[in-house]
Structure 1
Amino acid sequence: MTDRTAIRRLDYTAPAYLIDRTDLTFELNETDTRVTNRLVIKRNQGVAADTPLILDGESLTLELIKLDGAPLPASDYQRDEQCLIIPAMPEEAILEIVTRINPASNTSLMGLYVSSGNFFTQCEAEGFRKITYYLDRPDVMAKFTTTLIADKQKYPVLLSNGNRVGSGAMDKGRHWVKWVDPFRKPAYLFALVAGKLVVQADTHVTASGRTVAVEVYVEPGNLDKCAHAVAAAKKAMQWDEARFGLEYDLDTYMIVAVSDFNMGAMENKGLNIFNTKYVLAKPDTATDADFDGIDSVVAHEYFHNWTGNRVTCRDWFQLSLKEGLTVYRDQEFSSDIGSRAVQRIQNVRALREYQFAEDAGPQAHPVRPDEYLEINNFYTWTVYEKGSEVVRMYATLLGREGFRRGMDLYFKRHDGQAVTCDDFRAAMADANHADLEQFALWYSQAGTPHLDVHGEWNEAARSFTLTVRQSLAPTPGQTGQSERQPMHIPLAIALIDRRGQPLPLQLDGEAHGGETSRVLELRAEKQRYTFVNLPCPPVPSLLRDFSAPVTLAYPYSDEELVFLMAHDDDAFARWEAANTYAVRLLCAQYAAVASGGAVSVPAQFCEAFRSLLAHPELDPALVALMLELPRENYLLEQLADVDPVLLAQTCQQVKLQLARALRPQLLLRYQQLNDGTPYRYDGEQVARRSLKNVCLDYLAELDEGMIGDLLAQQYRKADNMTDRLASLRALVNRDGGEAQLADFATHWQADALVMDKWFALQATCRRPGTLSRVQHLLEHPAFSLKNPNKVRALINAFCLQNLAHFHSADGYGYAFAADRVLELDALNPQIAARLATCFNRWTKVDAHRRQLMRTELERIAAHEGLSGDTFEIVSKALAA
């Protein structure tokens, strides 16, 4: 690996030079693209005249440099593998640089690359330097003009940022198109697309009466899968105008789908480039979750137009400024167009499973990191999802109207600027005359705060006192941990009487109460809250709507958890009671099995689930979520020295016992919901399908011929991918499921995204021989190691989701993962580094597996030529 010095946030300095205009001309050729880059540059204020201009550049062939129209001799500049240096620069100048690149050989999928014969770019975070020499940093914002020249027959569609202002024919069958972006942007927001694409177009009329074209470009043959993405874009535009008063600012909003893409999507100004996974959908190829994902991701990238593009990051340490804020916005959008309760639970469940593990593991870092080796490694759950929770806490503390006032001030102050997380916090504070100084700790302190809560009933005073203690455990690699300070934490609570009714909340010393739910603001290490004038001992409902990204411990009895499952009026708290009870049960069952005992599910737990199945008024989607057992990866985080295989087996046994105990109720509810209604993607039908398929998932644990027939019948008769995949997922884990698996592949072999589902099903199969099947599938014609979606579907799914087989005691799963990390590192370091995170929690497992995992980590770390991306992940894991 090339030695790299860590980049530190506190070392930030403003750019020595600024770029006013960037004029680009691309003469596109798959193996030899010529890029002419004309820059209007000026020295920043206060910078010494002898300060050199240092431009970033990687893997570029330099053809020509001109300074103010005159060729620059080689003696007047220096070059290395990372940059171009011009020591003597005027205060203002026009710099012209001509470079050549080979897009066809670019397997990293960063910069300009070729996919299926078409050109695409990905420039965030530091990909633009692979296209031309530039000040490739987010605080250098310029106005871009881009001219694309290409063979018209091979590349009839030529797209870039901004508005299309001209086009024409050229010699030798070529043509050109010119694009002008009127808004300043950093280089990471540049985009280019060229190829044979077809478009589905619509229009959106903004609140002010402007007509905006909405265009989704895909490869020929996929046009029938674009309607949902177009509709999602229009919904997002309408929502942002209504919720935040933000209108789109260009003539056209474009989305382009590409199958080779490292991320989900990219918010380049006016020209969003998407992974096909988040564009292409119709009922027979996409699940309800796929449709939900398209709504969310399309909205996310569109919302970036203001929270990320119009106002961007000063430096990459501020990444959550745009990503955390925009995730919050897309989650709110999804909540408003769907079920707010279900959306919140799903978001929190993912946060706990992945981000809490990140906070507790070797890759822990604050929402605003202090340093990094490779910025690509900080596109993390912490920056995105925990960052979103930080933004949500502003809204919780300030209220919806107060949050809107803060957003309005933020845009008023910083439109067209590159700013920091502190600037956002200041806008929120100033707009609401609020003290948010302590809240800044959410950006600087890594780890998940823990709240230890106790309640005390005073019969004589008719009062109930909550005592709350907060703590924050040390995390690897963060300095100053002995000086960790208490956080500013909003804790939403209610008190519920024994009839299930919320009680009016009056704190001791207040003149009167009335609200039945309120937000307590924790600021000290220990705080006490006494509620008075209560008619009876209450059951506390705590952390309602998950008001802060914390863990919370309260000594609930099993009976109290069942009570909250049945009566809490906060949907998240209701689900949380079920989840807490299930986690408690599964951890206890694992401990019993590990000590030589057997799984035995208490009758009270079965009865609680039976009541949920019979509840006529609850949202079926909420019931489905409450019935789902906690995932094995989440349980792994709750235990120490774990045998993951035994944990997986324990979970399966618990599920089997529940299926046996609840068989009549599960079958009845399944039959009620499986009523033959034709497929529709709407809230009611999605909810009904989710509960139906959870019931089917439990029933599939039963080794009965009738259940096998039921599964096969749903697979055969399904008119949508949601139901077909639910049955196939169960069939894959049963004897005889091979026939449907083969039928599925035969039917969908030409659809890359559906085949990804097929790969993932086999990668997560719990039957013996799964690793051998996965290894065999690496040679399947539909699989390619160069395609990130395939890698995620097959390899990542096995290593990150298949607890039992990845953690096989023979260590073969670990060796397989290490081999793939090294193989991928030579092709695409970003994807290799993400796969390497499967070793992050090696210290959580038992001693035998711990040593096996460490050996593989050391093998990866010692590999000659290892990329900086992968080295950073592996070295931090080894240091844990």
Structure 2
Amino acid sequence: MSQSETTQPGVIYLSDYQVPAYLLEKTSLRFELEESQAMVRATLQFRLNPESAEQNPSLRLDGHESLDLQRISIDGEVLTEQDYQRQGEQLVITRVPEAFSFECVTRIEPQNNTALEGLYKSDGMFCTQCEAEGFRRITFYPDRPDVMSVFDTTIVADKSAYPVLLANGNLVDCGEEDDTRHWVRWDDPFPKPAYLFALVAGDLQHIEDSYTTLSGRQVELKIFAETKDLDKLDYAMLSLKRSMQWDEQVYGREYDLDIFMVVAVDFFNMGAMENKGLNIFNTSCVLAHPETTVDAGFQRVEGVVGHEYFHNWSGNRVTCRDWFQLSLKEGFTVFRDAEFSADMNSRTVKRIEDVTLLRTVQFAEDAGPMAHPIRPASFIEISNFYTLTVYEKGAEVVRMIHTLLGTEGFRKGSDLYFERHDGQAVTTDDFVQAMEDASGFDLSQFRRWYSQGGTPRVKASSEYDAAARRFTLTLEQSCPATPEAEEKLPFQIPVAVGLLTPEGADVTLAEGAATQVLNLTQERQQFVFENIDERPVPSLLRGFSAPVKLEYPYSAEQLVFLMQNDSDGFNQWDAAQQLAVQLMQQLIEDYSAGSELQLNPALVEAYRTVLTNSELDRAMVSKILTLPSEAYLSELAEVIDVEAIHCVRQFVRKTLANRLQQEFLQVYTANQTNEAYSPDAASIARRSLANLSLAYLMATGQQDALELAKQQFEQADNMTDSQAALSLVVHSEFEAEAESMLEQFYQRWQDESLVVNQWLAVQATDPKPGALARVEKLQQHPAYDARNPNKLRSLVATFCGQNSINFHCEDGSGYRFLADQIILLNKQNPQIASRLLTPLTRWKRFEPSRQQMMRHELERISASGDLSKDVYEVLSKSLA
């Protein structure tokens, strides 16, 4: 049966928050790990919470239905079944003392835990994932982030099968139980909620290093992986040491334990987890080697290692009071890791990449049925709110505070926040209050960013009075309705603005700067610039100073002017994007009307100018010459016309390729080198520009381009160039060569799981007809494992989310395929199932025939059987 009105999961509301009735002072855990089971003994020291108003409260502990309860005792007295109740996922004991020791023993089966939450097995290794509510799959516990306790953990296991036994904190003791089993005990002196607990047991090797903190403390650093992957850990270690140094320099934050450990795990629902002192990482976020990892993979490792390390303060030492405050730690830490990556590489390129993701995916989330503020008011399943809104938009909100307060004011605010709340579980209001108190800046109106969902729209217009030498900029803001509110109050929006003279120079604005931040707080405001000698071209929202949709009536000529002259690198790129979007939107209309497509020469000449300007940074050239994606064009459309968007983008790409063939060939040739691979910013930029040029050359469909791609594939000494060539040939009309290269690639890399994932993704994104049949065939391939989230993401999620023309095939086969996958995954791994639903949830954005087919598949999933809370929540909101 599907979820009925009487059995549907309950909604949890932020407004219902109450402090915990009992505080937990100490948690002692003992794990007896065996092949068919794990026995867990938890000893918990409770005391009544003096802040709770509840009289004689019952003890309520969270525990998943899969827990096999063996024994419970309070202060040494064993309880009978009459002394407690199991109510759903809670254990309730009605009569307990004000302070007491609680002990329970549970039996679990990690080897059968396909949800990959709590304690489970990944390729024979025991590991955990407890955020958000996985700990309740291990033992009965007050599994909420505002219950913080010190932990000690003892692990007992077979010493030959599991020679490495890890948990949070510092190793304090170890020994052997008998000839076959050994044990270790770890102690974590810093109070933490259960979601930060971690355990790993397996046959692992490690690399090690050390770091000396600013105060002179020596910290041991270890990164663990399977033996075959030891040569892929050096970059993660380098990134970790850089992260530690950066956090000391920029935020004054030192690491606090004697050891910091990272473990690479292949079966993992998320990217990585910041468990105190023992970070568990998806292999895709920690393993990196030139032969097996593309440039983006190196950058991802650096960014994720930084992100999880930075959580030690923004998430661990200061954590969330409740899960509605998730952006307190995630938004703040994403901002921190973005700034770290920007400092390590190109700041402008990093900003372009982050905003591209925001505009393409997060803006779509804001416009869909799962839209929510970065601090949602309610949820059914918290796992559904690990979203781009909470993470990426949350980071943009923190960035706006940084913009409004300035670097010095923001640092004072963060210092006060960490000092005031160290060791506490707090709220987003506490974070904003610390920023306000430290700076004296009034953020009252700004707080609306936390409670109002949706993407604000800012419409800009301008007037120039030559006689008065006055330029007036008018800004109007509005925000579409979202599920939590029809009407929105005005946001506080920092709009960074520059003005360019007709010669392309920056006009000097307030305080002698080229950029001025306008504080937009009303529905309509005018900003006046005096002593402006000639009508300027405005450069608006520099650096993307706020997560809004900006409208200004730029002409094509003005956009070309900004491409060539804007001193703000982000806006220089954005002008190129706007120009391409303007022209492509007109072509989409022409295509839909059956008119012949003709590309405006302005785009060709603008691209030619960029291509032939040797003074421009290679990374910027690569970004500027990358056409807006089909996903971004879809996000901008009132009604998504899949065929028109795909065909127009292909037409523009091929036309540019044909008209600029010689220029692209010259750029490709000029960016070849015999230097050894390096993941530094300059080298990444060179490879990026070379491979973009090769992509345009392949778009001509000429044999010469194919030969270049084949040569690059055969001679490449790094995965970036090898995979780029493979993808271009596989996505071309040269089918025989594509089959040959796919086979060569697989035969060489079949024992490298992450490389096989790339091989799957290349085929999943092939835009040629018949892609679904190829995907279904790959599901039967020995390399594919539907239990592994990385494999599911590489094949199924990539096809459904990144191969629009085939997923949205007019016969509805793509929709049926995705629905079938979700029905299977609903019981196997609910988190992954609910995330895979996203493409179907946007059914209202399409024309009626596709709407009908997509809705039908949503209804079929709904009627398929007992739904997990994860899937039910997304379905119910999508069908509302």
Q: TM-score, normalised by structure 2?
A: 0.98
Whole-angstrom CA distance in 2 between matches of 1:588 and 1:387: 34
Superposition deviation, residue 641 in structure 1: 2.7
Q: Which residue in 2 is equivalent to 1:552?
A: 550
Corresponding residue of 1:504: 508
Give SS of 1:221's match.
helix
Using the TM superposition, give the Cα deviation of residue 676 of structure 1 relative to its aligned residue in structure 2, in angstroms. 3.0
Which position in structure 2 is the counterpart of 1:6?
Answer: 11
How far did residue 709 of structure 1 move? Answer: 0.5
Deviation at 1:271, TM superposition (A): 0.2
- In structure 2, how many angstroms separate the alpha carbons of the residues matched to 1:759 and 1:667? 29
Structure 1 residues 726-741: aligned runs within 5 Å: 726-734=724-732, 735=734, 736=736, 737-741=738-742
- Shift in Å at residue 370 of structure 1? 0.7
Deviations 1:117-154 (A, max 9, x none): 11000000000000000000000000000000011011
Q: Distance in 2 between matches of 1:154 and 1:538?
A: 71
Distance, in Å, in 2 between the alignment partners of 1:336 and 1:4 is 45
2:752 corresponding residue in structure 1: 751
Question: CA-to-partner distance for each residue in 1:277-307, whole Å, 9 max, x for gaps?
Answer: 0111110100110000000000000000000
Question: Which letter does structure 2 place at the counterpart of 1:759?
Answer: L
2:138 partner letter? I
Check conservation: 1:410, 1:424, Cα contact below 8 A.
yes
Q: Indicate if the aligned counterparts of 1:469 and 1:526 stay in contact, CA closer than 8 A.
A: yes
Q: CA separation in 1, counterparts of 2:597 and 2:618?
A: 29
Partner of 1:491: 495
1:35 and 2:36 matched: no
Alignment of 1:240-319 (within 5 A): 240-319=247-326
Structure 1 partner of 2:802: 801
Q: Give matches, 1:859-874, under 5 Å.
A: 859-874=860-875
Match for 1:337: what amino acid?
M
- Where 1:574 maps in the other structure, the secondary structure is helix
Q: Quick one: which of 394, 397, 400 aligns to 1:390?
A: 397
Aligned-partner Cα distance in 2 for 1:115–1:514: 58
Contact kept in structure 2, 1:641 and 1:847, CA below 8 Å: no
Task: Report the Cα distance in structure 1 between the residues aligned to 2:878 and 2:559, rounded to whole angstroms.
Answer: 37
Deviations 1:208-254 (A, max 9, x none): 11110111000121101100011110000000000000000001100
Q: Which residue identity is paired with 1:93? A: F
Q: How many angstroms apart in 2 are the aligned matches of 1:699 and 1:73?
A: 75
Opposite residue 657 of structure 1, the aligned amino acid is T
Q: Secondary structure of 1:222's match?
A: helix
**Residue 598 of structure 1: CA displacement?**
2.4
Alignment partner, residue 843 of structure 2:
842
| 2:31 is aligned with 1:26 | yes
- For residue 697 of structure 1, report the CA deviation from its aligned partner: 0.9
Give the secondary structure class of the aligned counterpart of 1:436. Answer: coil
Residues 1:450 and 2:457 are matched in the alignment: yes
- Taking the TM superposition and a 5 Å limit, the aligned residue runs for 1:221-236 are 221-236=228-243
Give, in whole Å, the separation in 1 of the partners of 2:8 and 2:56.
29
Partner of 1:621: 619
Deviation at 1:646, TM superposition (A): 2.6
Q: Secondary structure at the match of 2:837?
A: helix
Does residue 135 (structure 1) correspond to residue 136 (structure 2)? The answer is no
Q: Deviations over 1:396-428 (max 9, x none)?
A: 000000000000000111000000000000000
Q: 1:158 aligns with which of 158, 165, 174?
A: 165
Match of 2:877 in 1: 876
Is the contact between residue 369 and residue 878 of structure 2 (CA under 8 Å) also seen in structure 1? Answer: yes
* CA RMSD, Structure 1 to Structure 2 (Å): 0.9
More off after superposition, 671-680 vs 355-364: 671-680
Task: Say which of 709, 715, 722 aligns to 2:707.
Answer: 709
Hey, what's the Cα distance between the residues in 2 that align with 1:747 and 1:439? 54
The partner residue of 1:95 within 102, 106, 118 is 102
Worse overlay, 834-843 or 422-431: 834-843
SS of match in other structure, 1:184: strand
Which is worse superposed, 13-22 or 73-82?
A: 73-82
CA contact (8 A) 1:31 1:105 kept: no
Q: What is the TM-score of this pair, normalised by structure 1?
A: 0.98
- Aligned partners of 2:633, 2:834: CA distance in 1, in Å? 24
Is 1:49–1:91's contact at 8 Å kept on the other side of the alignment? no
Give the aligned residue type for 1:563.
F
Q: Which amino acid in the other structure matches residue 43 of structure 1?
A: L
Offset from partner CA, 1:81-100 (integer Å, 9 cap, x none): 40111100100000011111
Q: Distance in 2 between matches of 1:876 and 1:382?
A: 17
Partner of 1:538: 536
CA distance in 1, matches of 2:385, 2:266: 23
For 1:359 and 1:378, the matched residues in 2 are separated by 13
Kept in 2: contact 1:331–1:343 (CA 8 A): yes
Preserved contact between residue 765 and residue 799 of structure 2 (Cα < 8 Å):
yes
> Does residue 1:56 correspond to 2:68, yes or no?
no
Amino acid at match of 1:577: A
1:645–1:808 contact (8 Å) kept in structure 2? no
- Indicate if the aligned counterparts of 2:374 and 2:394 stay in contact, CA closer than 8 A: yes
Measured after TM superposition, the shift of residue 49 of structure 1 is: 4.5
Identity %: 51
Amino acid at match of 2:490: P
The alignment partner of 2:333 has SS state of helix
Secondary structure at 1:700's aligned position in 2? helix
Say whether the 8 Å CA contact 2:60–2:90 is kept in structure 1: yes
2:363 is the alignment partner of 1:365: no
Question: Structure 2 counterpart of 1:263, which letter?
Answer: M
Shift of 1:50: 2.2
Match of 2:559 among 553, 558, 561: 561
CA distance in 2, matches of 1:10, 1:224: 50
State how far apart, in whole Å, the 2-side matches of 1:113 and 1:764 are.
32
Structure 1 residue aligned with 2:218, among 190, 211, 215?
211
How many Å separate the matches in 2 of 1:558 and 1:364?
Answer: 34
2:878 & 2:742 partners in 1: Cα distance? 37
Structure 1 unpaired stretches of 5+? 507-512
What's the secondary structure of 1:418's corresponding residue? strand
How far apart are the structure 2 equivalents of 1:276 and 1:514? 49
Amino acid at match of 1:228: Y
AA paired with 1:187? A
Partners of 2:580 and 2:842 in 1: CA distance: 23
Distance 1:533 1:391 in 2: 34
Provide the residue aligned with 1:510 in structure 2. Answer: none
- SS of equivalent residue, structure 1 residue 281: coil
Local SS of the residue matching 1:434: coil
Q: Is the 8 A contact 1:393 1:547 kept in 2?
A: yes
Query: Aligned with 2:264: secondary structure?
Result: strand
What secondary structure sits across from 2:313 in the alignment?
A: coil
Does structure 2 retain, via aligned residues, the 8 Å contact 1:103–1:113? yes
Measure, in 2, the Cα distance between the counterparts of 1:837 and 1:598.
Answer: 35
Alignment of 1:628-639 (within 5 A): 628-639=626-637
Partner of 1:509: none
1:172 is displaced (CA, Å) by 4.5
Distance 1:148 1:266 in 2: 20
Instruction: Report the equivalent of 1:646.
Output: 644
- Report the equivalent of 2:208: 201
Amino acid in structure 1 at the alignment position of 2:673: D
SS at match of 1:612: helix
Q: Secondary structure at the match of 2:190?
A: coil
Please report how far the alpha carbon of residue 645 of structure 1 lies from its aligned counterpart in structure 2 after TM superposition. 2.4
> Which residue identity is paired with 2:15?
L
Structure 1: which 4+ aligned runs deviate by more than 6 Å? none
Structure 1 contact 645–805 (Cα < 8 Å) conserved:
no
Distance in 1 separating the partners of 2:819 and 2:668 = 42
- Per-residue CA distance 1:763-814 (angstroms, 9 max, x = gap): 0001121110000000111101100000000000000000100000011011
- Distance in 1 separating the partners of 2:242 and 2:639: 48
Describe the superposition over 1:429-465 as per-residue Cα deviations: whole angstroms up to 9, x where unpaired.
0000110000000000000011000010101101100
Q: Which residue of the partner structure matches residue 429 of structure 1? A: 436
Match of 1:335 among 337, 342, 363: 342
Letter in 2 for 1:768: P
CA contact (8 A) 1:30 1:114 kept: no
Q: Deviations over 1:834-879 (max 9, x none)?
A: 0011112211111111111111111111121111101111221122
Give SS of 2:157's match.
strand
**1:175: which partner in 2?**
182
**In the alignment, residue 568 of structure 1 is paired with which amino acid?**
D
